[in-house]
């Protein structure tokens, strides 16, 4: 199983095709053995299985970032035990899938049996994008309704938070991959109808650089 990702990975760098596996366990499920066994049974070499021990909402996923960095070459297959191992938000998952697709990297989920290179897989990705759009619109509507109710009670309504969970997840991933500034800001702008100004993003990035960005909020905090 990959730990420091250097000596073992260097032996596989010149292979034209390879399988890279990613597993994640949360505080409620600390044993990754089942996921690792499933990945190995699919043909993923143990030295190319990356494991994080963190919740889906946590941004502290160093092995996920390392797995993405390793999956750079066309023909590589990125394999997960379950689709939700990729992140806590549907938008975040879709963006990672598009990132892999842009590199020519095949994606496969063992539980859902999703192969994004097939017509069925591409149709599923389109459906996921539609669902993500619906979820985003529902969040916006709930936010507007909450502000309206607060105003009816005479309370002052605040502005919606620009760095939404989906934006935070994608920005965090890009920053860990070495992307900076304008490139990240432009990438996250379409992820929500709530406007995120250049100044707002750069202020957030400054906090990220200082290590002051907290984990993503839970569902009850969104």
Which CATH number belongs to the domain containing residue 45 in this structure? 3.40.50.1390
Q: Quick one: what percent of the chain has pLDDT higher than 70?
A: 68
Instruction: Give CA torsion, residues 71, 76, 79, 85, to 10 deg.
Output: 30
Please give the Cα distance from 75 to 17 (Å, whole number): 5
- Report whether pLDDT(38) > 90: yes
Query: Which residues span the domain enclosing 54?
Result: 7-118
Task: Indicate whether 193 and 113 sit together in one domain.
Answer: no
Count the domains in the chain.
2
Same domain, 177 and 78: no
pLDDT at 97 over 90: no
Report residue 152 as tokens: 């009816």
Tell me, yes or no, whether 217 lies in a domain.
no
Judge whether residue 40 has pLDDT over 90. yes
Shared-domain flag, residues 188 and 96: no
Q: What confidence score (pLDDT) does residue 143 get?
A: 58
- Confidence label for 78 from pLDDT (cuts 50, 70 and 90): very high
Which of 73-77, 121-125, 150-154 is predicted least confidently?
150-154
> Do 101 and 178 belong to one domain?
no
Confidence of residue 4 (pLDDT cuts 50, 70, 90): very low
pLDDT, position 67: 92
Tokens of 106: 């095949």
Q: Check whether residue 112 and residue 170 sit in a common domain.
A: no
Kindly state whether residues 188 and 105 are assigned to the same domain.
no
pLDDT digit string, tens, across residues 137-156: 666 666 566 556 655 665 44
What are the φ/ψ torsions at residue 83 (nearest 5 degrees)?
-60, -35
CB-CB contact of 97 with 116 (8 Å): yes
> Residue 158: inside a domain, yes or no?
no
Could you give the residue numbers annotated as active site? 26
Q: Does 108 share its domain with 40? A: yes
Q: Residue 120's pLDDT is what?
A: 78
Q: Assess if residue 36 is contained within a domain.
A: yes
Whether 221 is in a domain gets the answer no
User: Collapsing DSSP states into helix, strand and coil, what is residue 62?
Assistant: helix
Residue that wins the pLDDT comparison between 157 and 149: 149
CB 85 within 8 A of CB 22: yes
Residue 2 lies in a domain: no
Averaged pLDDT of the chain? 76
Domain assignment present for 220:
no
Listed residues 60, 86, 118: the one ending a domain: 118
94 lies in a domain?
yes
Tokens at 214, concatenated? 């907290």
Q: Is the pLDDT of residue 163 over 80?
A: yes
- Higher per-residue pLDDT: 109 or 10: 109
């Amino acid at each position: 199983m990959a730990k420091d990702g250097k000596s073992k990975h260097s032996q596989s760098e010149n292979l034209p095709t390879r399988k890279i596996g990613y597993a994640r366990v949360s505080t409620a499920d600390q044993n990754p053995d089942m996921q690792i066994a499933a990945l190995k049974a699919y043909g993923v070499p143990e030295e190319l299985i990356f494991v994080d021990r963190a919740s889906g909402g946590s941004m502290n996923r160093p092995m996920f970032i390392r797995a993405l960095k390793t999956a750079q070459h066309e023909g590589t297959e990125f394999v997960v035990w379950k689709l939700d191992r990729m992140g806590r938000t549907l938008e975040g998952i879709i963006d990672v899938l598009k990132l892999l697709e842009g590199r020519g990297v095949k994606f496969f989920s063992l539980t859902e049996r999703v192969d994004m290179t097939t017509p069925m897989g591409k149709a599923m990705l389109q459906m996921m994008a539609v669902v993500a759009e619906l979820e985003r619109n529902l969040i916006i509507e709930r936010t507007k309704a909450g502000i309206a109710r607060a105003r009816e009670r005479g309370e002052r309504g605040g502005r919606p938070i620009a760095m939404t969970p989906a934006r935070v997840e994608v920005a965090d991933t890009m920053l860990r991959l070495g992307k900076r500034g304008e490139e990240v800001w432009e990438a996250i702008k379409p992820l929500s109808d709530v406007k995120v100004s250049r100044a707002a993003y750069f202020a957030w990035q400054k906090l990220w650089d200082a290590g002051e960005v907290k984990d993503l909020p839970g569902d009850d905090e969104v």
